[in-house]
């Protein structure tokens, strides 16, 4: 089967059915452009960017490639103010403040993680990207209608069959099946129970059976073997995140970049201590001490705000004790190449593997 007859390639107008996962705080316009120019779908995570930044970044990407690109947004419900919970969380981490000689009431600037709203939607209407993807469900119907009116293909992540069915019923054009192996934030939005989250191998075929829209497999895909496996499972395409973290185009926190080569099959975990939502990262001190899952961590994304002064101080000392080191369970498998080359190599190897039997 040639990729040209692939449903994802046809729907998105791309040459290779591979999506570079949006990674808030770690991807870059150069990465997006390189992947799209190589024939895959480059994504730019916009959750931590201002509307002006998104517009600027999109213009830059467009100057580098005329191929389809994906702008990605979070669509979580903004956290409810809960002073009691915030106080309890500050108490939970107060010993660290003392240890690092930081005043208990210290504050540090923290990158916002804003949900998709009118201002960001206006940017989408101006930029008109070929694809818009969401994490944590879909935005409210009014905003979604505006996005779809631009002609954009809409994608979102499902961590269960129920979420996939919900996404399809609510207007999502392509479902990304996100297995538990995936690095970064789980896209879960109908459940918050990580104990019942399924691995990619089990999840993908069950989602494929449950929806009519194309399905992209993600989570634990680190090399061509994982890509080939995803197609055997019935996926129409693949999304890789951690693999692209090793590209020179990644804009990684230096401590994150330093930690990445240490990622193994058995040293990442889902944790909510950095942001309040479950996300997979390399085990470090904060995860070991307070989690990896904590009942006390306040709602996304406020857990991170309280940690910010601690993180800044520790990082200035070269310590990643309080830094989120997002990585998936297959991080160790991925080779390091420029993003465009990586896209070509992985898909060529996967194709050869698929034809080898």
Q: Residues interacting with a copy of itself, by CB under 8 A?
A: 1, 160-162, 179-181, 191, 195-203, 205-207, 209, 219-223, 225-226, 228-234, 264-270, 283, 292-293, 328-330, 332-333, 353-357
Shortest Å, Cβ 233 to a copy of itself: 5
Shortest Å, Cβ 191 to a copy of itself: 7
Q: 226 or 309, CB closer to a copy of itself?
A: 226
Q: 25 or 199, CB closer to a copy of itself?
A: 199
Helices (H), the chain: 7-12, 29-37, 51-64, 83-92, 94-99, 118-127, 141-149, 161-169, 200-210, 224-232, 242-245, 254-259, 285-290, 302-316, 339-354
Shortest Å, Cβ 315 to a copy of itself: 24
Whose CA is closest to 27, among 75, 4, 61, 1? 61
Q: 1 or 83, CB closer to a copy of itself?
A: 1
CA atoms of 323 and 285, how far apart (whole Å) = 9
Local structure of 302: helix, strand or coil: helix
CA atoms of 39 and 110, how far apart (whole Å) = 35
Q: 106 or 165, CB closer to a copy of itself?
A: 165
Task: Write phi, then psi, for 25 (nearest 5 degrees).
Answer: 90, -5
Q: 115 or 226, CB closer to a copy of itself?
A: 226
Is 188 within 8 Å of 159 (Cβ atoms)? yes
Q: 295 or 357, CB closer to a copy of itself?
A: 357
CA atoms of 118 and 287, how far apart (whole Å) = 35
Q: 323 or 329, CB closer to a copy of itself?
A: 329
CA atoms of 287 and 274, how far apart (whole Å) = 8
Q: 36 or 329, CB closer to a copy of itself?
A: 329
Is 48 buried (19+), middle (13-18) or exposed (0-12) by CB count in 10 A?
middle
The residue assigned the tokens 């944790």 is: 271
Question: Which two three-digit tokens encode residue 219?
Answer: 């989570």
Shortest Å, Cβ 243 to a copy of itself: 12
Whose CA is closest to 341, among 3, 17, 40? 40
Shortest Å, Cβ 226 to a copy of itself: 6
The residue assigned the tokens 């991080």 is: 331
CA atoms of 157 and 260, how far apart (whole Å) = 24
Shortest Å, Cβ 326 to a copy of itself: 15
Q: 23 or 233, CB closer to a copy of itself?
A: 233
Shortest Å, Cβ 3 to a copy of itself: 11
Shortest Å, Cβ 179 to a copy of itself: 6
Shortest Å, Cβ 162 to a copy of itself: 7
Tell me how many helices (H) and strands (E) the chain has: 15, 11
């Amino acid at each position: 089967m040639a990729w040209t007859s692939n449903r994802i390639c046809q729907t998105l107008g791309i040459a290779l059915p591979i999506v570079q996962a949006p990674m808030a705080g770690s991807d870059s316009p150069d990465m997006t452009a390189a992947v799209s120019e190589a024939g895959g779908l480059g994504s730019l995570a916009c959750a931590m960017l201002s509307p002006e930044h998104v517009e600027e970044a999109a213009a830059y990407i467009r100057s580098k490639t005329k191929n389809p690109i994906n702008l990605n947004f979070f669509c979580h419900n903004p956290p409810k103010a809960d002073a009691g919970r915030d106080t309890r969380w500050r108490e939970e981490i107060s010993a660290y403040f003392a240890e690092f000689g930081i005043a208990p009431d210290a504050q540090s600037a923290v990158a916002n993680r804003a949900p998709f709203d009118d201002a960001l939607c206006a940017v989408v209407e101006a930029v008109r990207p070929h694809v818009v993807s969401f994490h944590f469900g879909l935005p409210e119907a009014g905003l979604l209608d505006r996005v779809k009116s631009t002609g954009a293909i809409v994608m979102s992540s499902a961590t269960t069959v129920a979420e996939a069915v919900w996404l399809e019923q609510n207007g999502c054009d392509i479902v990304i099946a996100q297995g538990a192996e995936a690095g970064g934030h789980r896209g879960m939005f109908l459940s918050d129970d990580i104990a019942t989250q399924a691995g990619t191998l089990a999840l993908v075929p069950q989602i494929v059976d449950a929806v009519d829209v194309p399905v992209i497999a993600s989570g634990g895909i680190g090399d061509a073997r994982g890509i080939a496996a995803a197609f055997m499972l019935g996926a129409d395409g693949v999304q890789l995140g951690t693999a692209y973290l090793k590209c020179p185009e990644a804009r990684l926190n230096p401590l994150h970049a330093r930690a990445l080569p240490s990622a193994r099959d058995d040293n990442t975990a889902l944790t909510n201590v950095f942001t309040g939502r479950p996300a997979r990262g390399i085990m470090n001190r904060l995860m070991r001490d307070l989690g990896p899952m904590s009942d006390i961590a306040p709602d996304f994304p406020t857990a991170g705000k309280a940690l910010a002064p601690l993180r800044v101080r520790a990082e200035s000392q070269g310590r990643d004790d309080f830094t989120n080191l997002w990585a998936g369970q297959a991080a160790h498998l991925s080779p390091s190449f420029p993003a465009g080359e990586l896209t070509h190599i992985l898909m060529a190897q996967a194709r050869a593997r698929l034809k080898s039997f």
